[in-house]
Amino acid sequence: MEIQKLKGQNAIVTGGNSGIGRAIAIELGKQGVNVLVNYHSDKEGADEVVGIIKQAGSDAFACQADVSSEEDVLAMFAGMKEKFGHIDILINNAGMQKDAPLHEMSLDDWQRVLGVNLTGQFLCAREAVKQFLERGMCDKSKACGKIVCISSVHDVIPWAGHVNYATSKGGILMMMKTMAQELAPRKIRVNAISPGAIKTSINEEVWSDPQQAKDLLNIIPYKRIGEPEDIGKVAAWLVSDEADYITGTTIYVDGGMTLYPAFADNG
Ligand code: BGC
């Protein structure tokens, strides 16, 4: 059996019911982490992830919360404390798209995406840091706490028709770096993972259509669409002591999408 490098640590994975969050929650569970699997409306999906983690021998429970609501986030962190005692790892993953051309984008769709993708990460990070500091250092990890912000290649690649989404991801980049700078002296590591095109429900319309999937490969030099597990493995490593000297960094897990592929035979 694989050595469980994260044994006995406790994590919150927001949006852990599906897609990238699901893969991260399961990977952490396999590595011995007890996981609060947060979900917004898909209770069934969250319960399934809880079942898989328990099967792997770790503890888990599902917790409903809208991460853009301060009240919900406070209740979720109180639940975490009650159930697991303290938090070691926060995976700030919950995110959404509500796409529209700029001139047709409603204020509601702008605010909803910023609220979930950016404010949600702020609220969860703030509450996690309070609990990290309250507990202090312990012998389970070299760091006092670890935060991973799940961002996107669109934190650096502008994306027409998705101004709310790209803005939220650009915001995560600077929020993550600022938090990392502020919290490093307190031995709290903050990093980001920026996935490229990963097969989840957020972009199913694209990868499930043969022509669109083919076109998508034109902007992925590595010539495959990513799987959620590609992110799960990197996240589990990033919160482990093997990555103890890494803070304030973004790891692009994107098959080369950020390498300006259009310039490979041009320019
Ligand atoms: C988006 C996906 C998109 C990918 C690459 C992600 O952040 O959520 O819809 O396929 O970026 O463009």
**Per-residue pLDDT at 3:** 72
Beta carbons within 8 Å of 37's beta carbon, 6+ residues apart: 13, 16, 17, 25, 46, 49, 50, 53, 60, 61, 62, 63
pLDDT at residue 100 tops 90: yes
pLDDT grade for 266, boundaries at 50, 70 and 90: confident
- Lining ligand 1 with CB less than 6 A are 97, 152-154, 196-197, 202-203
Query: What spacing in Å lies between the alpha carbon of 159 and ligand 1's midpoint?
Result: 9
Supply the mean pLDDT for the chain.
97
**Per-residue pLDDT at 1:** 52
Tell me whether residue 39 is one of the annotated catalytic residues. Answer: no
**Per-residue pLDDT at 267:** 82
**Per-residue pLDDT at 2:** 61
Sheet of strand 250-253: strand arrangement: 60-64, 34-39, 10-13, 89-92, 145-150, 188-195, 250-253
Q: Please tell me which residue, 171 or 4, carries the higher pLDDT value.
A: 171
Query: What spacing in Å lies between the alpha carbon of 152 and ligand 1's midpoint?
Result: 7
Query: What spacing in Å lies between the alpha carbon of 4 and ligand 1's midpoint?
Result: 31
pLDDT digits (tens, 9 = 90+) for 191-218: 999 999 999 999 999 999 999 999 999 9
Q: Mean pLDDT across the stretch 222-236? A: 98
Take atom 7 of ligand 1 and give the residue whose Cα is closest. 152
Enter the CATH code of domain 10-201+227-260.
Answer: 3.40.50.720
Beta carbons within 8 Å of 32's beta carbon, 6+ residues apart: 4, 5, 6, 7, 8, 9, 57, 58
**Per-residue pLDDT at 47:** 98
Residue found under tokens 């509500």? 98
Q: Mean pLDDT across the stretch 127-143? A: 97
pLDDT digits (tens, 9 = 90+) for 24-65: 999 999 999 999 999 999 999 999 999 999 999 999 999 999
pLDDT digits (tens, 9 = 90+) for 136-188: 999 999 999 999 999 999 999 999 999 999 999 999 999 999 999 999 999 99
Share of the chain above pLDDT 70, in %: 99
Q: 3-state SS of the chain? A: CCCCCCCCCEEEECCCCCHHHHHHHHHHHHCCCEEEEEECCCHHHHHHHHHHHHHCCCCEEEEECCCCCHHHHHHHHHHHHHHHCCCCEEEECCCCCCCCCHHHCCHHHHHHHHHHHHHHHHHHHHHHHHHHHHHCCCCCCCCCEEEEEECCHHHCCCCCCCHHHHHHHHHHHHHHHHHHHHHHHHCEEEEEEEECCECCHHHHHHHCCHHHHHHHHCCCCCCCCECHHHHHHHHHHHCCHHHCCCCCCEEEECCCCCCCHHHCCCC
**Per-residue pLDDT at 152:** 98
Q: Mean pLDDT across the stretch 66-72? A: 99
Query: What spacing in Å lies between the alpha carbon of 128 and ligand 1's midpoint?
Result: 27
Share of the chain above pLDDT 90, in %: 97
> What are the extents of the domains in the chain?
10-201+227-260
Among residues 165, 245, 252, 260, which one is catalytic?
Answer: 165
pLDDT at residue 4 tops 90: no
Q: Which of 97, 150, 154, 230 to mutate to test the pocket of ligand 1 (most atoms within 8 A of CB)?
A: 154
